[in-house]
Amino acid sequence: MLEIVVAGGWLMVPILACSIIAAAIIIERFVNLRRKRVLPAGILERVRQWAAQRELDRQHIEQLRRSSALGRVLAAALVNRRREREVIKDAVQDTGRHVVHELERFLNTLGTIAGITPLLGLLGTVIGMIQVFSAIMIHGVGDPNELAGGISQALITTAAGLTVAIPSYFFYRYFRGLVRSYVVEMEQQALELLHTIELKRPQAAG
């Protein structure tokens, strides 16, 4: 393996660096985008239980905010629950934008790696082929085996770039889709909470 890396030339260094960064991002996102971390089960029911028991105080709302991404969105609605519906929606949307930004953290970097590593590989191949044809111009065809070996070395960077780019692009698309599905569920639960708040208002007024 080390011989292949050395044979690929200096462009293997940024490709290897991209592979390490991509692997770190993929592992980090797998850990932080687990469903139980973003959308814990039963959190909306817990909020409704607090409301029924008149326990929606600052301490419980702060506990909810710190619990998860969904908790932050629901807490934004609860903090403004005595205001107009439009104010509550604006607060939920503002918080939701911040939450989505955190859920998509490092994904742009992963997508960039998926885009540039094939180009780095192609650049390495082009440089390698230029060197091969320059040697042919100077020394002639010579030994065909050596020529074939030079071409194979020139193609190493392309193979390495694609090896990094393909899984990076796959996980980039996977995580983007996962975040979108989480956002849809958070919006649904936030709307359910808004509906519950509106139903409670006539009772509170009465």
Q: According to the model, what pLDDT value does residue 49 have?
A: 82
- Please say if the pLDDT value at position 87 is more than 90: no
Tens-place pLDDT, residues 96-151: 899 999 999 999 999 999 999 999 999 988 888 887 777 777 766 666 665 666 67
Residue 56 has pLDDT above 60, yes or no: yes
Our count of domains for the chain comes to 1
Q: Where are the alpha helices (DSSP H) in the chain?
A: 2-7, 12-32, 35-38, 43-52, 58-67, 69-79, 85-103, 107-139, 144-205
Q: Is residue 149 part of a domain?
A: no
Does the pLDDT at position 206 exceed 50? no
The closest of 170, 185, 179, 35 to 103, measured between CA atoms, is 179
User: Which pair of structure tokens corresponds to residue 2?
Assistant: 């080390």
Q: Is 174 part of a structural domain of the chain?
A: yes
Is 21 a member of any domain? yes
- Identify the weakest region by mean pLDDT among 8-22, 26-40, 100-114, 192-206: 192-206
| CA-based nearest residue to 110, from 160, 187, 169, 157 | 169
d(CA 103, CA 28): 11
Q: Is the pLDDT of residue 202 over 60?
A: no
Q: How far apart are CA 185 and CA 135, in angstroms?
A: 61
In a domain, 131, yes or no: no
User: How high is the mean pLDDT of the chain?
Assistant: 85
Q: Is residue 136 part of a domain?
A: no
**Residue 143 confidence (pLDDT):** 62
Domain that holds residue 21: 12-118+159-205
Q: Could you tell me if residue 138 is inside a domain?
A: no
| Residue 145 located in a structural domain | no
pLDDT of residue 61: 85
Contacts from 22-25 at CB under 8 Å and sequence distance 24+?
22/110, 22/113, 22/114, 22/164, 22/167, 22/168, 22/171, 25/106, 25/107, 25/109, 25/110
Q: Is residue 6 part of a domain?
A: no
Q: Is 31 exposed, middle or buried (0-12, 13-18, 19+ CB in 10 A)?
A: exposed
| Mean pLDDT for the stretch of residues 8-20 | 89
Of these ranges, 5-14, 95-104, 164-173, 183-192, the one predicted with the greatest mean pLDDT is: 164-173
Instruction: Give the pLDDT confidence score for residue 150 in this predicted structure.
Output: 66
